[in-house]
Amino acid sequence: MKFIDSSIHQGQRAILCNALKDKGLAGPVVLNAMNKIPRHWFLESGFHQHAYQDKAFPIAADQTISHPSTVAWQSELLEVEPGMKVLEIGTGSGYQAAVLCELGVKLFTIERQKELFDFSKGMLDTLGYRAEMKYGDGFKGMPVFAPFDRIIVTCGAPYVPKALLGQLVPGGIMIIPVGEGSQKMVRIKKKADGTFVQKVLGDAAFVPMLKDRE
Ligand code: SAH
């Protein structure tokens, strides 16, 4: 695939980011990062002309790239600062990962579909983003690199995985869609004493987080 970011794509992207700003889902830091990343490169060529609509699209292995509004919202909710260690569960296309890298975090990300792991790895390398990428089961997190300042789950979790709670630093934040079928977006803060405070922030609709099965 040729990586061309035409003025048409750039214009459509700016319009999308403005629309996301009007929706109040994210502030200028997140939206500027999103405005720098050619979302169409993360999609099959047949979807390129639609890449800057606020829509989810199919990617490999029957998965989907999240809506731009969801990416904006989750990125904002995560309250990241440059240099933070962030763990993402569900690399998928690599688009959300690219947005987090553009925000200057040290990213760790896990994907359980080999096809998507290979694709997103190639894409992040091509874009020059450095992330620690793992092909495996997100329910387990990445104990070797823990703890993390932030954890973002980009698939619908049937429950909050215990291992992930354990891999959050005191003062850390996890943003996770929880529920079977549809989900609630939940923010979990880990307090200095190791206890958790949970808040439901709204509705979400992600592909399900799956255990180690094909
Ligand atoms: N962040 C992605 C969203 C992809 S959809 C993007 O920007 O494109 C959710 C992804 O979570 C899918 O790729 C799916 O394969 C992955 N996933 C589902 N269950 C998982 C698990 N247990 N561990 C890691 N990834 C998982």
Instruction: Give me the pLDDT at residue 211, please.
Output: 85
Q: Residues in the chain, how many?
A: 214
Q: What is the pTM of this model?
A: 0.97
**Tokens 């992040």, residue located:** 124
E strands, 36-147, in order: 57-58, 64-65, 85-89, 106-111, 131-135
Average pLDDT of span 82-88: 98
Yes or no: say if 157 and 151 are a contact pair by the CB < 8 Å rule. Answer: no
Over residues 147-206, the pLDDT tens digits come to 999 999 999 999 999 999 999 999 999 999 999 989 999 999 999 999 999 999 999 999
Going by alpha carbons, the residue nearest to atom 2 of ligand 1 is: 92
Q: Is the pLDDT of residue 126 over 60?
A: yes
Q: Is the pLDDT of residue 212 over 70?
A: no
Known catalytic residue at 45? no
Residue from 154, 206, 213 to probe ligand 1 pocket by mutation (most atoms less than 8 Å from CB): 154
Query: Which domains are delineated in the chain?
Result: 56-204 (3.40.50.150)
What single-letter amino acid sits at 159?
Y
Q: Is the pLDDT of residue 213 over 60?
A: no
Over residues 28-67, the pLDDT tens digits come to 999 999 999 999 999 999 999 999 999 999 999 999 999 9
User: CB within 8 A of 118, min separation 6: which ones?
Assistant: none
Q: Cβ(124) to ligand 1 under 6 A? A: no
Of the chain, the percentage scoring pLDDT greater than 90 comes to: 96
Of the chain, the percentage scoring pLDDT greater than 70 comes to: 98
Please state, as a whole number, how many other Cβ atoms lie within 10 Å of the Cβ of residue 6.
11
